[in-house]
Amino acid sequence: MQFNVRSIRVITLSVLVLSVLALAPPAFGAASFVPTRPIEFVCPSAAGGGLARFSETVGSIMESEKFVPVAMPRIYKPGGGFAVAMAYISEKKGNPHFLMSTSGPFVLTPLTVTLSGKKTITHKDLTMIGIMGFDEVVMVVKNDAPWKDMKELLAAAKAKPKSLRFGGSYVGSPDSLVVASIAKAAGVEFLYVPFQGGGEMNAALLGGHIDIMSSSPSDMMPHVEAKTMRMLAVAADKRIPRFKDMPTLKEIGCDLVRRTHRGIAAPPGISAEAVAYYENAARKVTETGAFKKYLDDGIMTPVFMGSTQASKFLDEYADVALNTMRDLGMGKK
C-alpha cells in the first residue's frame, strides 16, 4: 500500500513536473528576453524632421515609463532615403539591441534603389515590430489661390494640362505617388516639382512659385490658422475630426487612400521572444498619455498593429506603390 501511495505520489509529482515543463517554456520564454544593454534606436532621417520627432517621443517614453529597463539612445543615420539606416540594421542580424523607426520610404526606397553588387535590403528583410500611428496627407494651396476647392482645381488642371505646378518630395517618395495617383484617377497632368524638405517647399508655395503641394496636416496647421494657406482635401478614408469641413479625396471622386505610417522595426532573425517583448513595449507606449498627446498635436490617426499585421500592411502598401510606380515608368520589374 505504502508503495502504492508512494507511486501515486511519484506519478502525481512527475505529472506536475511534466505539466510545468510543458507549460512553462512559453510562459518563461515570453519573459525570457529582456534587453541587457542599451538599445540603439536608429532614426533613418535627419534630426528635426517628422520621423525624428516620433523617434524622440517613443524613445523617451520607453525610457521614462521603464517599458525597457535600459537606455534607448536615439542615433541619427540619415541618407539614401532610409537605405543607409536599413543597411546598418540589416547588418545587426539576430541582435535584439538595435531598433529603427520607420515610415513610407522604408517600403518605397527598396522598390527603386539598387546598389550595384549588393542585395537590396527591403522591408521584408527586417523584422517589423509594429505600426503605431498614421500621418495623413493633405493637399494645400495658398490662401488667395483662385480655386475654391479640389474639384475646381482638378477642373482647371484638366482644362489646361501641365499648367498647375505641384510641389513634393523626390519622384518615388510617398507624396509623389499620391500626386501620381490623383493625376491618374482624375485624368489630369500636373507639372511635378521636387523639393528638398518642407521648408523650401512652403516658401515656394507662399511665394507663388508653385500652385499646390502635399503635406501633413500638422505642418499645415499654423499656416491654416494664420490664413496664409488652405487645405483642399485629405487622402484618408474619412474626414479628420479637427478639420470637419475638409473633404476626403474619395468624396470628390478620386478613390484613393494614402497615408504614411509611423512604426518600429528590428534587425532580421531576432528571436520570437524579442519580437513579442518589443511588440508589447510598443503597444504600451501607444497607451500612454504622452504618446496620445504626440499623435493629437501632430493630427495623426491612432492605430496599433503588431508584428504580423504590420508586415502584412506594408506588403500590401508595397504592391500598390509598385503599380503606381510602373504607371510612372519607374520601379523595378
Partner 1 sequence: METFQQLLMGFHVAATPFNLLLCFLGCVIGTIIGALPGIGPAAGLSILLPLTFGMNPTSGMIMMAGLYCGTMYGGTITSVLINVPGEAASVMTCLDGYQMAMQGRAGKALGIAAIGSFIAGTASVVFLMLLALPMVKFALSFGPPEYFALMLMGLCTVAGLTSGSVLKALAGTCLGILVATPGMDAFSGLPRLTFGLTGLLGGIDFVVVAVGLFGIGEVLYNVEQSMEMKFLIEKISIKEVWPNRAEWRASVGPITRGTLIGFLVGVLPGAGGTIATFLSYAVEKRVSKHPEQFGKGAIEGVAAPEAANNASTGGAMVPLLTLGIPGSGTTAIMLGALMMYGLQPGPLLFLKNPDFVWGVIASMYIGNVMLVIMNMACIPLFVKICKIPNYFLMPFVIVFATVGVYSVDGNIFDVWMLYVFGVMGYFMNKFGMPRAPVLLAVVLGPMVERALRQSLILSQGSYDIFFTRPISAVLLMMGLAAVLWPVFDMIWQRRRARRMAGA
Residues engaged in binding partner 1 (CB under 8 A): 46-49, 52-53, 56-57, 60, 74-81, 83-84, 87, 109, 112-118, 162, 165, 170-173, 191-197, 199-200, 202-204, 206-210, 218, 221-223, 225-226, 228, 297, 330
Q: Considering the complex, what minimum distance in angstroms separates the CB of residue 232 from partner 1?
A: 19
Q: Considering the complex, what minimum distance in angstroms separates the CB of residue 133 from partner 1?
A: 15
Residues 17 and 211: their CA atoms lie apart, in Å, by: 73
Judged by beta carbon, residue 46 or residue 272, the one nearer partner 1 is 46
Count of CB atoms situated within 10 Å of the CB of 11: 10
Q: Do residues 41 and 73 touch, judged by C-beta distance below 8 A?
A: yes
Judged by beta carbon, residue 204 or residue 256, the one nearer partner 1 is 204
Residues 260 and 263: their CA atoms lie apart, in Å, by: 10
Judged by beta carbon, residue 29 or residue 38, the one nearer partner 1 is 38
Length of the chain: 333
- Give the orientation angle of helix 307-327 with respect to helix 105-112, to 10 degrees: 40
Strand order in the sheet with 229-234: 191-194, 165-168, 212-215, 138-142, 229-234
Q: Considering the complex, what minimum distance in angstroms separates the CB of residue 306 from partner 1?
A: 27
Q: Considering the complex, what minimum distance in angstroms separates the CB of residue 144 from partner 1?
A: 13
Judged by beta carbon, residue 216 or residue 307, the one nearer partner 1 is 216
Judged by beta carbon, residue 145 or residue 191, the one nearer partner 1 is 191
Please provide residue 134's backbone torsions phi and psi, each rounded to the nearest 5 degrees: -120, 135
Judged by beta carbon, residue 112 or residue 127, the one nearer partner 1 is 112
Q: Considering the complex, what minimum distance in angstroms separates the CB of residue 11 from partner 1?
A: 60
Query: With 0-12 CB in 10 A as exposed, 13-18 as middle and 19+ as buried, what is 118?
Result: exposed
Q: Considering the complex, what minimum distance in angstroms separates the CB of residue 316 from partner 1?
A: 21
The DSSP bridge partners found for residue 43 are 76
